[in-house]
């Protein structure tokens, strides 16, 4: 009888234990203005996050450019990670303050592609992104940061901040193999067709540089080894800066975001920003050194 009871108890426990015992990570995607195709990118970011099963991603859109920003008051503190896909008009002062409070209290942030173009005149935001470009950034924004013989180099020479060569597939070069975001990923892999940001400037408070890429001058690049994926040194905050992912004209024609490497970095970086850990295995369709890998439907293959 006792044995039967034990079996029944075990069966009950198994039946009521969910397959994944973790609560989904709550993510908030901020968008609504961008010199990029934000109408597609913010939905693709949401799809990638939600399809992973690890996140529930909400969206907060601002008014259109030039519109009434006064009602834009997302509740940052309701979320484990805030994903910025925004490059536009300044937020209301209270929203700036709420964002800083969230970040400085140890919040998680993902800076995605042209989000690092935003708010050139907002000093604290520039510390949160570490490096930014365009919007009249120049030597007053801080030095250029690039690698010479693999060593981080700050260059204070005058000149504009932010440029890129022609879109192409290009190799990613690992600069860290132990950080949770990149642990287990190959040292070098071929990224899907994308822009490569270069000549970025800022306070350059990079914490862990994860990947760089060579901005080939023959393709219109800086001719330097440029930082592309890194974390930011900003108090208790966990900030993941992902310069990859220039959005294409439609979700179906969007190679930079359809790249399995991009999606993997977004998911691992967002999980780390939210929790400080990465629980995701390396996907079996991850790009190799020679060959990019595209997920046209933004879904990872089953393990």
Provide the mask over 25-64, with x wherever binding to Zn ion is found by CB under 5 A and - wherever it is not. Answer: ----------------------------------------
The reply to whether 193 sits near Zn ion by the rule CB under 5 A is no
Q: Which residues, 155 to 174, sit near Zn ion by CB under 5 A? A: none
Distance (Å, whole) CA 79 – CA 254: 28
Report the distance separating Cα 300 and Cα 303, nearest Å. Answer: 9
Q: What are phi and psi of 88, to 5 degrees?
A: -170, -150
User: Which listed range, 15-23, 135-143, 146-154, 246-254, lies at the site for Zn ion (CB under 5 A)?
Assistant: 246-254
268 binds Zn ion (CB under 5 A): no
SS (H, E, C) 160-178: CCCEECCCEEEEEEECCCC
Min. distance of Cβ 216 from Zn ion in angstroms?
Answer: 17
Does position 191 bind Zn ion by CB under 5 A? no
CA 274 to chain centre: 12
Closest approach of Zn ion to the CB of residue 108, in Å: 23
Nearer to Zn ion, 163 or 293 (CB): 163
Shortest distance, position 276 Cβ to Zn ion, whole Å:
29
Question: Would you say 54 or 243 has its CB closer to Zn ion?
Answer: 243
Q: Which stretch binds Zn ion (CB under 5 A): 170-178, 245-253, 261-269, 293-301?
A: 245-253
Contact call for residues 199 and 159 (beta carbons, < 8 A): yes
> How large is the angle between the packed helices 38-51 and 260-275, nearest 10 degrees?
70
By the rule CB under 5 A, 246 interacts with Zn ion: yes
Closest CB 23 distance from Zn ion, rounded Å: 34
Neighbouring residues of 23: CB distance < 8 A, sequence distance ≥ 6: none
Nearest to 101 by CA among 131, 70, 75, 122: 75
| Binding footprint of Zn ion on the chain (CB under 5 A) | 195, 246
């Amino acid at each position: 009888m006792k044995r039967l009871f034990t079996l029944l108890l075990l069966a009950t426990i198994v039946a009521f234990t969910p397959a994944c015992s973790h609560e989904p990570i709550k993510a908030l995607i901020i968008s609504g203005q961008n010199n990029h195709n934000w109408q597609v990118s913010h939905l693709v970011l949401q799809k990638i996050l939600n399809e992973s099963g690890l996140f529930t991603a909400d969206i907060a859109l601002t008014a259109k450019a030039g519109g009434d920003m006064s009602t834009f008051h997302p509740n940052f503190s309701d979320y484990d990670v805030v994903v910025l896909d925004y490059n536009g008009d300044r937020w209301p002062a209270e929203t700036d303050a709420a964002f800083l409070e969230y970040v400085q209290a140890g919040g998680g942030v993902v800076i995605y592609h042209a989000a690092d173009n935003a708010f050139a005149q907002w000093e604290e935001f520039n510390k949160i992104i570490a490096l930014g470009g365009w919007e009249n950034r120049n030597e007053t924004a801080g030095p250029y940061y690039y690698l010479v013989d693999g060593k981080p180099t700050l260059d204070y020479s005058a000149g504009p901040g932010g440029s890129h060569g022609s879109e192409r597939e290009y190799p990613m070069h690992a600069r860290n193999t132990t950080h949770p975001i990149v642990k287990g990923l190959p040292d070098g892999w071929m990224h899907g067709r994308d822009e490569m940001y270069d000549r970025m400037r800022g306070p350059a408070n990079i914490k862990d540089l994860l990947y760089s890429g060579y901005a080939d001058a023959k393709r219109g690049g800086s001719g330097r080894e440029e930082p592309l994926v890194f974390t930011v040194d900003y108090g208790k905050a966990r900030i993941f800066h992902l310069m990859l992912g220039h959005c294409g004209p439609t979700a179906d024609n969007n190679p930079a975001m359809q790249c399995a490497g991009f999606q993997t970095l977004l998911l691992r970086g967002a999980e780390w920003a939210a929790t400080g850990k990465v629980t995701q295995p390396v996907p079996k369709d991850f790009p190799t050194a020679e060959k990019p890998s595209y997920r046209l439907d933004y879904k990872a293959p089953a393990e």
